[in-house]
Chain A
């Protein structure tokens, strides 16, 4: 179950999107191979064909699809995409390459979400940064999954503007964490210039 209360642009709103999960894998998990040349085993699963095929895509409404499911059903979903009904989610261990090679303009998606399986997985920050800077994604970038208020400041700085806080945690309390630090040192996605370019320092 996901928390229904969502932080968007620093306030709490209802989530208008329906999350489409991947069905749990019945077959043996395939290790992701060759993510990097010669680096054969990162120990993470990629969705199997069976999982992709068994994913139930709601026929109406705004839906967040797994990237793999979207790519498989891309043609059939084009009309809904034009209606701004299709968003994507990716896992932190996925690369952006399939998305970037499939879509010339990723701004056709009003929302891209990144799923964090484990709080400690900091790949989400690099993914956010790449989506915002290298791939110029301008719409809503959401973090969900094992998301605690303690990541929010870093997520904000990495280009995220929407956070679905882990179930059981108070999103109202989480809001204040967006303001943990008033003047960060280094340039990042949100504040590009490092502090010594923004301020006169003694």
Chain B
């Protein structure tokens, strides 16, 4: 993975000093609440329901075991011994003390980590595919470009106070796993007819209050221009995006108001001035950064292992976990393994410090000391030998990290909701756990098959409910908490936004509602048909009729 040189380290160290000064000026009354707010937010520090919340950056979801151990130590020393992995591939601490955040940053800086731009109206943490570099369907490994984007966007002077937050995702595989269509800018890398790396640029996607899937504003951009083209887009947005109404301030609203063609025209006109300016990347810099992400020292192995096959045949529990958690790999004899942070009955995406240490150990033992965070809020060991998978499973299982539910209904994507977040209108964790409890029969869960259920506690959509096959949105009605249900949302190349099925439900109704949706699917599905495809084939009505009958 990328390793800091003294330039990266100096920037992070100077940030610690700067934020320590800002925090102390606030605590001594030299900065007002209003003045401190944008400063702390750009450092991922929220004032939340019970305590501050600190969002720690995990650039493009990649972590070393050393970093994860440090996060575990920080969770123990400064928080309550656990952290929450978010849909933005970051880690959130729910109970830090404001006055201790500079010390947390200092600890993070020792392992090349920080909380820079994890919130606030600036370019946020760059996200990508959790299987980057190892997925068999990968065309281009997006991690070097993601790192180049990280550096360029860090303390970008022109884009440090935008109308609203700004999210960029990078993908380089046939199957999009980075949700490029739901980002302010989505960069889809591919090889063009001349076998040169090129980018399809998506713009104006986003979920939240006004969910919109992005549009392609440039089909073919030569990769050297990735930064200057982003500069042109964000410059147009910075000057013309609305600042009078935060709900209408995202770039998607500007793109929609202008129309994609007009927006594109303005971006292209701006880019003419920026094209070939010094932020143009060259082959040398790409190579320098790429060498941090070259292949791991893989052994030459067969793509089959007798012992693995044997235990997979005879151990039903192992086999059902393998079916969901083990993914194909570019390299023969290796697999990627997802460790589930969705044991039934606990908050999705949470990991205790002990679990973090266990995962760090597993990463060291089985996956070259690295791991990834997925936007589905699970942890991935990307490079596990086929023959090590059984041992890995046994250890993971002993620490509640091997629930065989990856990609199934109980692998619920869920924001922290009203239990923690001051923005939330409703709780989301109890809804997730009640649904998990209602679907505790593993055979049934596997029979239902691939299904993404996403829950957000408010319309800011941190739980990405619009793109869940089943989406649940917490709403406030006259001071009480209700839940609106959508179906038919999907991430990926054929992304779609879900459709609301009708009036919202009380919390206690939710497991029953999901059961009814599943009943219709089981009854109506064609062989091998996924829930999402049945919904797409039949439309909302049969589901609606049964749920509200």
Question: Is there an interface contact between B158 and A126, defined as CB atoms closer than 8 Å?
Answer: yes
A201 to B287, CA, bound (A): 12
A120 to B165, CA, bound (A): 12
Q: Does A163 reach chain B (CB closer than 8 Å)?
A: no
Q: CB-defined interface of B153-187 with A at 8 Å, one 1/0 digit per residue?
A: 11111111110000000000000000000000000
Using CB atoms, name the residue of chain B closest to A188. B157
Q: Does B352 reach chain A (CB closer than 8 Å)?
A: no
Residues of B within 8 A of A155 (CB): 157
Q: CB-defined interface of B1-17 with A at 8 Å, one 1/0 digit per residue?
A: 00001010011001100
Q: Does A41 reach chain B (CB closer than 8 Å)?
A: yes
* Residue among A133, A155, A156, A185 with the highest chain B CB neighbour number at 10 A: A185
Question: Would you give the shortest CB distance from B18 to chain A, in whole angstroms?
Answer: 5
Question: Would you give the shortest CB distance from A175 to chain B, in whole angstroms?
Answer: 13
Question: Would you give the shortest CB distance from A57 to chain B, in whole angstroms?
Answer: 29
Q: A120-B121, A181-B11 are in contact. Are A125 and B159 (CB under 8 A)?
A: yes
Q: Does B443 reach chain A (CB closer than 8 Å)?
A: no
Q: Does B211 reach chain A (CB closer than 8 Å)?
A: no
Q: A186-B152, A186-B156, A186-B279 are in contact. Are A121 and B35 (CB under 8 A)?
A: no
Q: Does B299 reach chain A (CB closer than 8 Å)?
A: no
Using CB atoms, name the residue of chain A closest to B3. A202
Question: Is there an interface contact between A182 and B14, defined as CB atoms closer than 8 Å?
Answer: yes
A182 to B11, CA, bound (A): 8
Residues of B within 8 A of A43 (CB): 242-245
Q: Does A119 reach chain B (CB closer than 8 Å)?
A: yes
Residues of A within 8 A of B31 (CB): 148
Question: Is there an interface contact between B5 and A202, defined as CB atoms closer than 8 Å?
Answer: yes
Using CB atoms, name the residue of chain B closest to A93. B243
Q: Does B503 reach chain A (CB closer than 8 Å)?
A: no
Q: CB-defined interface of A53-92 with B at 8 Å, one 1/0 digit per residue?
A: 0000000000000000000000000000000000000000
- Residue of A42, A95, A150, A187 near B242 (CB, 8 A) is A42
> Which of these binds chain B: A10-18, A104-112, A191-199?
A191-199
> By the criterion of a CB under 8 Å from any partner CB, how many residues of chain A are at the interface?
50
Q: A39-B254, A42-B242 are in contact. Are A120 and B262 (CB under 8 A)?
A: no
Question: Would you give the shortest CB distance from A143 to chain B, in whole angstroms?
Answer: 12
Those of A144-202 within 8 Å (CB) of chain B: 148, 150-151, 153-158, 169, 180-189, 192-197, 199, 201-202
- Residue of A35, A169, A184, A188 near B240 (CB, 8 A) is A35
Q: Does B238 reach chain A (CB closer than 8 Å)?
A: yes
Q: A39-B254, A41-B244, A201-B5 are in contact. Are A122 and B10 (CB under 8 A)?
A: no
Q: Does B524 reach chain A (CB closer than 8 Å)?
A: no
Q: A119-B35, A187-B277, A195-B7 are in contact. Are A125 and B243 (CB under 8 A)?
A: no
Q: CB-defined interface of B232-267 with A at 8 Å, one 1/0 digit per residue?
A: 000100111011110000000010011100100010
- Residue of A36, A121, A156 near B161 (CB, 8 A) is A121
Q: Does A44 reach chain B (CB closer than 8 Å)?
A: yes
> Majority SS of interface residues in chain B?
helix
Question: Is there an interface contact between A122 and B238, defined as CB atoms closer than 8 Å?
Answer: yes
- Residue of B14, B243, B262 near A181 (CB, 8 A) is B14
A185 to B160, CA, bound (A): 14
Question: Would you give the shortest CB distance from B289 to chain A, in whole angstroms?
Answer: 9
Using CB atoms, name the residue of chain A closest to B151. A185
Question: Is there an interface contact between B38 and A119, defined as CB atoms closer than 8 Å?
Answer: yes
Residues of A within 8 A of B215 (CB): none
Q: Does B196 reach chain A (CB closer than 8 Å)?
A: no
* Residue among A119, A181, A197, A201 with the highest chain B CB neighbour number at 10 A: A181
A184 to B157, CA, bound (A): 9
Residues of A within 8 A of B154 (CB): 185-186
Residues of A within 8 A of B34 (CB): 119
Q: A37-B258, A125-B161, A193-B278 are in contact. Are A120 and B152 (CB under 8 A)?
A: no
A119 to B35, CA, bound (A): 8
Question: Is there an interface contact between B239 and A123, defined as CB atoms closer than 8 Å?
Answer: yes
Question: Is there an interface contact between B159 and A122, defined as CB atoms closer than 8 Å?
Answer: yes
Q: Does B302 reach chain A (CB closer than 8 Å)?
A: no
- Residue of B39, B121, B239, B278 near A194 (CB, 8 A) is B278
- Residue of B5, B161, B258, B279 near A120 (CB, 8 A) is B161
Interface residue ranges, B against A (CB under 8 Å): 5, 7, 10-11, 14-15, 18, 22, 30-31, 34-35, 38-39, 121, 151-162, 227, 235, 238-240, 242-245, 254, 257-259, 262, 266, 273, 277-279, 285, 288
Give 12 CB contacts A-B under 8 Å: A35-B240, A38-B259, A42-B240, A95-B239, A122-B238, A123-B238, A126-B235, A148-B35, A150-B35, A153-B155, A192-B278, A202-B5
Beyond the given pairs A39-B254, A192-B278, 5 more chain A to chain B contacts, judged by CB atoms under 8 angstroms and listed by A's residue number, are: A37-B258, A122-B159, A150-B35, A155-B157, A186-B152
Interface residue ranges, A against B (CB under 8 Å): 35-39, 41-44, 93, 95, 119-123, 125-126, 129, 133-134, 148, 150-151, 153-158, 169, 180-189, 192-197, 199, 201-202
